[in-house]
């Protein structure tokens, strides 16, 4: 009787999934509206083409957030000029994942081009299913165990209205392990958007006069051993006009894309912000001039 009930449950489960459910594999993303429809994990209606037997050279399945809930799957294939950003659909355990991008690079050794296709997977359980099917490990995010002392210091005790207002960021590794992070990557813009600032004047929010839009940018890896300090100078005038005399209360943040200093790939292992509060003092032009005159007497 127990075996009979178990068999019935299996039959019911199979029926619920659907007898014509496509098997695991990579399929063409058909543009023919008469092809069998399927809904992707992202909720997009797709049309399923023929199952493909791709010659996969390498795989990479890695987490894209600290909570390990979003994953990107990258497949490296022999170069094919016909591969586009929406050529394939991946199906694993009844869930369809649409291709989100494609690209091509040139291998240094052979000088031959190779193609890359990318899929986005939501949820750790789904990533585990994909990992098991493709027989590739999941690279999870991990905390770098950083312990940092952070400060923003204005470059002058006081600025005059109209001056460029600048400050120095200092990050000191007060921990016991070496850390590595990317400086740059958000600076192809009107300002370096690795920084985020907000300011208050007389208790009111100060208007941000710039924009946080950017198109990436060049970056360099910074390695901080225990006791070492990273410094960078930034112009606050790209965020605020500082057109009134008085004290501005500023909160500064700096985005850190951590990577493992011992791994050549420089893959992101953690994302975080360091932050600190500081004050900026603005004096009227005539007040500053009077102080200079008094100092010469």
| Average pLDDT for 77-100 | 97
> Are residue 262 and residue 189 in the same domain, yes or no?
yes
For 39, the domain range is 17-139
> Are residue 183 and residue 94 in the same domain, yes or no?
no
- At residue 21, the pLDDT reads 81
Q: ∠259-262-266 over CA atoms, to 5°?
A: 35
> Are residue 156 and residue 28 in the same domain, yes or no?
no
> Are residue 275 and residue 165 in the same domain, yes or no?
yes
CATH number for the domain spanning 121: value is: 2.40.30
Mean pLDDT of the chain: 90
Task: Note whether 251 and 275 are within 8 A (CB).
Answer: yes
| Average pLDDT for 187-210 | 97
Between 206 and 290, name the one with better pLDDT.
206
Q: How far is CA 215 from the centre of its chain?
A: 13
> How sure is the predictor about 285, in pLDDT bands with cuts at 50, 70 and 90?
confident
The candidate with the shortest Cα–Cα distance to 152, out of 9, 276, 25, is: 276
Q: ∠262-266-270 over CA atoms, to 5°?
A: 95
**139, 166, 181 — which closes off a domain?**
139
- At residue 104, the pLDDT reads 93
Question: With a threshold of 0.85, does the pTM exceed it?
Answer: no
The candidate with the shortest Cα–Cα distance to 42, out of 121, 126, 125, 128, is: 121
- At residue 264, the pLDDT reads 85
- At residue 3, the pLDDT reads 43
Residue 115 has pLDDT above 90, yes or no: yes
Task: Note whether 100 and 71 are within 8 A (CB).
Answer: no
> Are residue 272 and residue 154 in the same domain, yes or no?
yes
| Average pLDDT for 51-67 | 97
Domain total in the chain: 2
> How sure is the predictor about 291, in pLDDT bands with cuts at 50, 70 and 90?
low
**77, 105, 139 — which closes off a domain?**
139
Q: ∠22-26-29 over CA atoms, to 5°?
A: 85
> Are residue 189 and residue 263 in the same domain, yes or no?
yes
């Amino acid at each position: 009787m127990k075996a009979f009930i178990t068999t019935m449950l299996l039959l019911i489960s199979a029926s619920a999934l659907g007898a014509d459910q496509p098997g695991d594999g990579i399929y063409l993303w058909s543009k023919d509206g008469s092809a069998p429809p399927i809904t992707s994990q992202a909720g997009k209606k797709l049309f399923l083409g023929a199952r493909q037997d791709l010659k996969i050279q390498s795989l990479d399945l890695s987490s894209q957030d600290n909570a390990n809930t979003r994953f990107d799957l990258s497949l490296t294939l022999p170069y094919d000029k016909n591969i586009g950003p929406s050529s394939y659909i991946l199906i694993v355990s009844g869930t369809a994942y649409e291709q989100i991008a494609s690209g091509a690079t040139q291998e240094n050794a052979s000088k031959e081009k190779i193609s890359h296709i990318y899929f986005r997977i939501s949820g750790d359980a789904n990533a585990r299913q994909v990992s098991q099917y493709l027989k590739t490990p999941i690279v999870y995010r991990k905390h770098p165990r950083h312990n940092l002392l952070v400060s923003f210091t204005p470059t002058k005790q006081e600025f005059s209205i109209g001056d460029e207002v600048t400050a120095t960021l200092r990050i000191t590794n007060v921990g016991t392990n070496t850390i590595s992070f990317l400086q740059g990557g958000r600076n192809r813009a009107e300002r370096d958007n690795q920084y985020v600032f907000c300011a208050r004047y007389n208790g009111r929010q100060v208007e941000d006069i710039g924009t946080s839009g950017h198109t990436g940018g060049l970056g360099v890896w910074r390695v901080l051993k225990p006791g070492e300090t990273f410094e960078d100078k930034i112009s606050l005038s790209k965020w605020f006009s500082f057109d009134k005399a008085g004290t501005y209360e500023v909160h500064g943040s700096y985005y850190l894309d951590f990577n493992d200093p011992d791994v050549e790939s420089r893959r992101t292992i953690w994302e975080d912000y360091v932050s600190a509060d500081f004050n900026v003092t603005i004096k009227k032009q005539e007040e500053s001039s009077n102080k200079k005159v008094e100092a010469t007497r």
